[in-house]
Amino acid sequence: MSTTPRVSSAVPGEPAHFGTVLAHQPELSARFFALYGAFWGSDVLSARIKEVARMRNARVTECGFCRQVRFDKAVAQGLGEDVLDDITDGYEASARLTEAEKAALTFTDALIHDPDLLTGDARAALARHLTPEQIAELGLGVSLFLALAKALITMGLEPEAMARTVLPTPAPLEQAA
């Protein structure tokens, strides 16, 4: 993965990172961050399940930034490194992941790789553990995670090295102030 920025910072004196690159398009940037904050601010789907899906995407896309960031709301909901360690190929056999989390991971893999992964038993498990509203929110989230990871990688905005970091969970704009 490239750690050499392919897009310059729009903020004088600031290095190129996702926020300073998006600053080239301030109106779109504000709308994107409003959507991302609204997604994380919604309680239709738990932050823990959202973070499980985000981490699966991070491991599949190999996004260095995404793999090292944890959001505090999911950590507060009991999502620890021991559980995250099981978000690898073979997660279906994990004793630490809940059945709802496994269903969300299968959905995540279907969205990232192949929709045909979500047939038969996998589809039934998803319907058993998540409501249509939760599935819709998860679909939006995984789409955002995949787009963000690919943008970071493609624009060369991954850090050279980064320690594991717990960040505040993105919040809707009215809560972010």
| pLDDT of res. 174 | 72
Q: How far apart are CA 123 and CA 90, in angstroms?
A: 18
pTM for this structure?
Answer: 0.93
Q: How far apart are CA 71 and CA 25, in angstroms?
A: 26
| pLDDT of res. 89 | 93
Q: What angle do CA 28, 30, 31 make, to 5 degrees?
A: 65
Asked if 60 and 157 touch (Cβ cutoff 8 Å), the reply is no
Helical segments of 1-119, H only? 18-22, 26-41, 47-61, 64-68, 72-76, 81-84, 99-112
DSSP label of 118: S
> Residue 81: is its pLDDT beyond 60?
yes
Average pLDDT over residues 19-36: 95
Residue 125's alpha-carbon distances to 107, 119, 120, 165, in angstroms, are 10, 10, 9, 32
| 160-169 residue pLDDT tens | 889 999 999 9
| pLDDT of res. 161 | 87
> Residue 176: is its pLDDT beyond 70?
no
The packing angle between helices 99-112 and 132-154, to 10°, is 50
* Ramachandran category for residue 163: left, alpha or beta (phi over 0 → left; psi -120 to 50 → alpha): beta
> Residue 3: is its pLDDT beyond 90?
no
Using DSSP, state whether 10 is helix, strand or coil.
Answer: coil
**Residue 168 identity:** P
* Domains of the chain, earliest start first: 39-172 (1.20.1290.10)
